Every structure is written in structure tokens, then in C-alpha cells.
Structure 1
Amino acid sequence: MSAHRDKAEAFAAGLMTQAVWPLFLVLAALAAAPVIAVAAQPQATTLAAAAWLVAAASGVVTLAVSALLVFDALLFWLMASHISEAAGGASVDDVLARMRVKPAAAGIRSLDRRIAGTQRLLMKQRVALGLFVAASLVALSF
């Protein structure tokens, strides 16, 4: 196997892990939230209600970004399935253009540039997850 294929496959596998565990964490917490909110309702304050709203909103953002990361992982696996980095990049660009996600690319971005872009998306997921956890803890403290 070539270096680009190994790198793309390894990044895709790690990315899938980083996309899935926050997804399950947020889904479990959001599923339990109505039960917790009803149990705490008599003591609920405006701040607790606001914290629950922030937690719910940041949870939804975390879910959305996690879904995008799963999609990106699949694209990296597609890229790794090609014999060369250029062919893999062209294939990914073709898929994105056919889906009307991005216009047809003028040039092929390198694997490293694609990884850097996905790492920025991963950072956004972590910020949203952090906000979700913090807001959930604030809401639970009331």
C-alpha cells in the first residue's frame, strides 16, 4: 500500500471513532434529559431552564457535526481506495460535485489540506460537546 492510502485509512478510522462516541454520549444525555427535567421541575429556575436550552442546542450542534465527520470519514476511505492521491482526490471532488455539496474543484487539494480542514471541523465538534457538557452540569446543579 502507498503512504497516502495508509494515511487516509488511518485518519478515517480515527475520525470515525471521534465522530461516534460524542454522538452516543449526546443521544444518551438528550434521551435522559426529559426524565431529569421532570424530576427537577419543582425546583427549576430560569437559569436552569436556560442551561437546559443551551445544552439541547449545543447537543444538536454536536450531533450535526458528528454526522459531518462520519461523512468525511467515508470520503477519506473513498480517497484511500484509489491508487494515487490525485485519483482519490479527484474521486472525492467528483462525489461532492455530483451531490451538489461543493462546486467542481479547479484543482485537486492534497490529502494534508483535506485532513487540516477536517481537523478544524473536529475542533468545532469538541467545542460544541464541551458547551453541551458544561451547560448540562449547570442545569443539573439547580
Structure 2
Amino acid sequence: MTSNAYQDKAGAFAAGLMVQAAWPLLVIAACLLATPVIGLTTGPQAMPLSAAAWFVAAVGALATLAFSTLILFDALLFRLMASHDNEAAGGAAVDDVLARMRLKPAPAATRSLDQRMAGTRRLLMKQRIAFALFAAASLVAAFL
């Protein structure tokens, strides 16, 4: 892969990750702002199932926020990779940052851009599952 193609791919992936980290945060914030309005229109909730659904929604929201934070961190790491001329130098820079932060030990060999992107896609899937849990539990709690 040429330098420009590598930098374009890493940069575009980082930009997409920024969007993927932001939209769940905005939806959760909107739901939190709408919760008092929903509570006024539905009346007091006396059912224990509703309380359990709100708890599950809160756990889903917190998990989504945590995954969004990790995705944002990954986006910044991909931007760091894209700032280097080639894939090996970018990967080494990311590995060095992670080792200095004591988040990961220094690896024997650097992973390719595609391997790193696959790991981040797994993280995106976990975020989407947590967000789906939040959305489903919020709907159940709102209509009970």
C-alpha cells in the first residue's frame, strides 16, 4: 500500500470513528432530556418491572458511553498512525504510545492497519449491542 493510500485509509477510518463515537452520546443525551417529559405524560411508575427496565437502560447507557470513549481513543490512535509516512512507522508509534501509557506491553511485531481496524470494528459491535440494550430497555420502561 502506498503512503498516501495508507494515510487516506487510516485518516478516513479515524474520521468515521469520530462519528461513531459521537452519535450514541447525542441520542443518550436527548433521551435523558426527554425522560422528565415522558414521566409527566405517563404518570407515576409503580411497577417493579419498570424500575428494572430503567436500571437496565442506565447500565446500557453507561456501557455505551464507555465504549464510545474507547472508540474515540482509537480514533485518535488512527490519526496518529495516519500522520506517519508508512504503515510500519505509524504502527510503531501507536505501540510506543500505548507502552508509554502502560496500557499494553510493547509487542514483538507491529500489527498491520487491517488487524488494528478489525479490533476496532469488534469494539464498535460491542458499542452497538450496548446501545441496543439501552434503547430497548428505555422503550420498555417508558411504556410500562
TM-score normalised over the length of structure 2? 0.92
Which string of whole-angstrom CA distances, capped at 9 and with x for unpartnered residues, describes residues 44-74 of structure 1? 3111110000000000000010011011001
The residue type equivalent to 1:12 in the other structure is A
After superposition, residues 17-96 of structure 1 pair within 5 angstroms as 17-33=19-35, 36-37=38-39, 40=42, 42-96=44-98
1:66 and 1:119 mapped to 2: Cα distance?
Answer: 12
SS at match of 2:107: coil
The residue type equivalent to 2:102 in the other structure is R
1:43 and 1:58 mapped to 2: Cα distance?
Answer: 20
Q: Which residue does 1:98 correspond to in 2?
A: 100
The residue type equivalent to 1:101 in the other structure is L
Amino-acid identity (%):
65
Structure 1 segments unaligned to the other structure (5+ residues): none
Change (3 A) 1:41 1:100: farther
SS at match of 2:105: coil
Q: Which residue does 1:126 correspond to in 2?
A: 128
Aligned residues: 142
Q: CA deviation at 1:105?
A: 1.3
TM-score normalised over the length of structure 1? 0.93
Structure 2 segments unaligned to the other structure (5+ residues): none
Q: Which residue does 1:8 correspond to in 2?
A: 10
Q: CA deviation at 1:95?
A: 0.6
Q: Which runs of 4+ in 1 moved over 6 A?
A: none
1:61 and 1:139 mapped to 2: Cα distance?
Answer: 18
Superposition RMSD in Å: 1.6
Q: Which residue does 2:119 correspond to in 1?
A: 117
SS at match of 2:44: helix
1:34 and 1:61 mapped to 2: Cα distance?
Answer: 22
